[in-house]
Structure 1
């Protein structure tokens, strides 16, 4: 079976998308055909490979955990923890977020069902040549770059008016319903986080929400197949997110996400039904660097496949991003970033491979 994901199964849209990514083999099919095979193009350069030995010593370091119920109810200690988490870590896990277990489990089941479809069925939802939505792998911009050990289904999920439903799997009747429920609940959590960030950044509680215009959600569903040589590959290369914030639903049983903290890669241990939240590039720019988007990556597992779902919260394309006036002081906190239309920044990032914090450097003065 040819593992190449081609573009012949989805009719291209004439409208320009956010970017494009070259077609690549399905890792799931590579493993299905030969579970011991690790093609050269997936083997990372030595300096980029995960070091499982050194990471063991950092196992006691854990990212902050925020109780969303306390935060939403105005608990000052929890707000202080939230502020420190955004400043010092750029990552935190949230519990008591109000999303029902059934909604979370239905979302996970929908993703699992998609990746269990026959390959020929999944190919029907391949990324068009002019967009990054669909089935494949993002940020592939050359035939020479190293590839990630993962397959992806990437969809714009909110608002419903901007969905490209041709890329939604009709073979799974509950798929759309599960995404609808989960996206709606994630939006509620997002608005609560935005309200607290707004207050911390010197605005009223609706400031961030209003600034985003027609706020959008883009959802990346990740499948990380088993790998016979996990020490040679990465599930996702180091990067920061081009979002305002990202909310990640992890696999409850397998640790795969790692964040860069004080020059070390720290594993983010899953808390069942918790959601990992991270600061994105937009929040870094708006806060004039007070809150930093942090490099993160995913590693693979030799014995078990892993799935996750990342929801990126982003502004309307035409919104101009730049430091908020409340976050700039010419003497103490001079302006560090230039202003740019969000869609221009998004397209800039999607034209390049994942490369740590290189994208935010582009925005700096």
Structure 2
């Protein structure tokens, strides 16, 4: 149901990210997952251990949430001091993504019981903010289903991370894996993609109805091309609506236009992909794939990515003695708290900042007048307090583009 231009370059259907059976012996899984992370960076998981009844309960909870009256959802809206909550106005290149969403993450207290520490209590603040749940009356059994599913994703993500580590020669108690297990700052995002309606296309001042001022007739994307910032993403998506696409570059050359491969979920599967932090940790061996989501003119789509992220204080460095590393690693150490804060600023503010793994490549040359990212990171960490909500004004001098 996409325009023909959207589908240009889509490769043959039989060229797909691998399907990984998580019931296989660990020795086999290590090799299979290492290969998947190195080639595609995307793979589907079957026999993953999350019970279908828990998945079904969470799916129903998503539908109830997005079915709430708009004013109720807007009462839970995220803002520049809080990355968690509802949103329907995410922008990419001055065009809104065609979706609604809601983010929830590990509470600052790491206690999900709001009777012990209220969601918006000071004890639950962290860099990403605090959680904004609807009341039980507004959305019955929603909190229960979300917290349950979140916990199941934590267990599965830890298992995948250990297998990824073994593929690099790292033991389960490796520093980053232990940090992920004990101090992860993961969040779960629920997405609702309405049927695409050209007559209702979100519009900004100075923007063409169906373009970005260029006359481009294509519909807006559900999510524009991007890479996930964290270590690992575990995605639940509808099996009957194929909108997720992953980029494949000719001979791995990202200076060339990619082909876009549509991911067609296997029944009962989850989809995993590696993120920027895994790419740095593996010194470029594991691939953080570029991906996007198309709009659909025929049916709505729901999805829920679980972003498995390190602790804010974690310094992510390439593992030592990797056989493919040169005399020195490709990447300098990257603070996850800094990386996340800059992504936050880029997503939710007008600072115009953007951060990528390429900013931590040792061979990278800073542009004239540009504050070196490592220096900026060092200054940020001297002032950062990860137990309080992010403040644009506090960190503006460090995050402002030169």
TM-score, normalised with respect to structure 2: 0.71
SS in 1 for 2:8: helix
Q: Are 1:210 and 2:178 an aligned pair?
A: yes
Aligned to 2:141: 174
The aligned runs of 1:113-262 (5 Å cut-off) are 113-137=64-88, 140=91, 145-157=94-106, 159-160=110-111, 162=124, 167-170=132-135, 171-207=138-174, 208-212=176-180, 213-229=182-198, 231-262=218-249
Q: Are 1:285 and 2:280 an aligned pair?
A: yes
Q: Distance in 2 between matches of 1:350 and 1:165?
A: 14
Structure 1, gaps ≥5 residues long = 1-48
Cα 1:300–1:333 change in 2 (3 A) is farther
Worse-superposed segment, 128-137 or 303-312: 128-137
Q: 2:333 aligns with which of 339, 344, 349?
A: 339
How far is the alpha carbon of 1:130 from its aligned partner? 1.4
How far is the alpha carbon of 1:139 from its aligned partner? 5.7
Worse-superposed segment, 160-169 or 303-312: 160-169
Aligned to 1:64: 18
SS in 2 for 1:216: coil
Q: Distance in 2 between matches of 1:317 and 1:278?
A: 21
Answer with 1 or 2: which has the greater Rg: 2
Q: Distance in 2 between matches of 1:342 and 1:247?
A: 19
Q: Do 2:55 and 2:149's aligned partners in 1 also have CA atoms closer than 8 Å?
A: yes
Q: Distance in 1 between matches of 2:169 and 2:32?
A: 18
The aligned runs of 1:7-156 (5 Å cut-off) are 51-55=5-9, 57-70=11-24, 73-76=25-28, 78-137=29-88, 140=91, 145-156=94-105
Q: Do 2:235 and 2:272's aligned partners in 1 also have CA atoms closer than 8 Å?
A: yes
Q: Distance in 1 between matches of 2:106 and 2:61?
A: 14
Q: Runs of 4+ in structure 1 displaced over 4 angstroms?
A: 137-141, 161-166
SS in 2 for 1:160: coil
Deviations, residues 75-109 of structure 1 (Å, cap 9, x unaligned):
42x43222111100000000001110011111111
Q: Do 1:50 and 1:232's aligned partners in 2 also have CA atoms closer than 8 Å?
A: no
Cα 1:56–1:280 change in 2 (3 A) is closer
C-alpha RMSD of the superposition: 2.6
Q: 2:346 aligns with which of 344, 347, 352?
A: 352
- Number of aligned positions between the proteins: 310
Cα 1:79–1:202 change in 2 (3 A) is closer
Deviations, residues 116-162 of structure 1 (Å, cap 9, x unaligned):
00101111101133122111157649xx7222111111111464364
Aligned to 1:362: 359
TM-score, normalised with respect to structure 1: 0.78
How far is the alpha carbon of 1:166 from its aligned partner? 5.7
Q: Are 1:325 and 2:312 an aligned pair?
A: no
Cα 1:200–1:75 change in 2 (3 A) is closer
